[in-house]
Amino acid sequence: MSSGEEKETDYNVPALQRGLSVLAMFDARTRALSMADIAQRLGISTSAVYRILFTLTEMGYLNKLDSGYELGSRVVSDGFCYLASRDIVDVAMPHLNALRDRTSLSCHLSIREQTDALYLYRAFASQRLSVNIPIGTRIACHSTAMGRVLLGALDNMALERLYQHVRLDGYAPPAPRTLPELQQLIDGDKALGWVLHRSDYSTAIATGVRDHTGAIIAAINLSGPDAVMDPAGAQELFLGLLRECSGLISRDLGWLGV
């Protein structure tokens, strides 16, 4: 062994390595393990593994059961705190850029602020005919695909409270003009899980992004000219890619659902 390899080995902390290896043993299929199971996987004796398990249990990273050990609440809470601290733009950006590259269509990310969809990020398609909405733009939620997805995160009572003092009759079709029309539209959107909206010779398809609880916290879209979106099979193809992208972003935010 060279002197360089010896120096690198000197920095290893075996107890820390073993402790992290224990935590990595648990997953969706392996919810609990006995002390003997853990010792066997680590290749050490049960007496040697006891101190590691005792320390992890004292710190809240493991729970002791009658038959062995399971992950403790601290692993979950620390993990979710980290995921929540990640800026959604940073998480979504590489996925939206990849989606733009696969489709040659513009992609956008937005969140809801009161009755507006606030655009946080765009992956701009460089083709001549493209939809390009600048970052920071606010558009009324009920008149856009992404906005309607965001409204779908609300129940009917919350939706009614949000729009009780908002006039809807000043927007051009196909935007709903009354609250009952809006509620009916959102109910249909929820059943589909996505929204298609047409305006000014362009079409946008949008779906939601979920956090670790499964709640819709943002929306993403694919948008382009009708000439690109309307050919047979095009919308189905783009919708599949969009939903795949939203699933990847949601997974990176901690959502484990389907």
**CATH number, domain containing residue 115:** 3.30.450.40
Task: Quote the pLDDT of residue 80.
Answer: 53
On whether both 155 and 233 belong to a single domain, the answer is yes
| 225 located within any domain | yes
Given a contact cutoff of 8 angstroms between Cβ atoms, the answer to whether 178 and 163 are in contact is no
On whether both 101 and 68 belong to a single domain, the answer is no
Task: Quote the pLDDT of residue 130.
Answer: 63
- Residue-wise pLDDT tens digits, 45-82: 988 899 999 999 988 889 999 889 998 877 765 655 55
On whether both 92 and 56 belong to a single domain, the answer is no
What distance in Å separates the CA atoms of residue 71 and residue 168, rounded to the nearest whole number?
50
Interior CA angle at 249 toward 243 and 250, to 5°? 85
> If DSSP codes are grouped into helix, strand and coil, which group holds residue 195?
strand
Domain count of the chain? 2
Domain residue limits at 101: 86-252
On whether both 132 and 33 belong to a single domain, the answer is no
On whether both 74 and 91 belong to a single domain, the answer is no
- Residue-wise pLDDT tens digits, 191-204: 999 999 988 778 99
Domain closes at, from 48, 79, 110:
79
CATH code, domain carrying 32: 1.10.10.10
- Which residue type, as a one-letter code, is found at position 59? M
Domain closes at, from 54, 79, 104:
79
On whether both 149 and 199 belong to a single domain, the answer is yes
On whether both 141 and 213 belong to a single domain, the answer is yes
**Antiparallel, parallel or unpaired: β 195-199 and 138-140:** unpaired
Task: Quote the pLDDT of residue 127.
Answer: 66
Task: Quote the pLDDT of residue 79.
Answer: 59
On whether both 72 and 137 belong to a single domain, the answer is no
Domain closes at, from 56, 79, 102:
79
Burial of 218 (0-12, 13-18, 19+ CB in 10 A): buried
pTM for the structure as a whole = 0.68
On whether both 33 and 53 belong to a single domain, the answer is yes
Task: Quote the pLDDT of residue 202.
Answer: 85
- Residue-wise pLDDT tens digits, 149-208: 999 999 999 999 999 888 898 887 788 999 999 999 999 999 999 999 988 778 999 999
| 192 located within any domain | yes
What distance in Å separates the CA atoms of residue 146 and residue 207, rounded to the nearest whole number?
7
On whether both 146 and 173 belong to a single domain, the answer is yes
**What phi-psi label fits residue 132: left (phi over 0), alpha (psi between -120 and 50 degrees) or beta?**
beta
> If DSSP codes are grouped into helix, strand and coil, which group holds residue 120?
strand
Instruction: Enumerate residues 6+ apart whose C-beta is below 8 A from 129.
Output: 224, 225, 227, 228
Sign of CA dihedral 58, 60, 61, 67: positive
What distance in Å separates the CA atoms of residue 190 and residue 149, rounded to the nearest whole number?
8
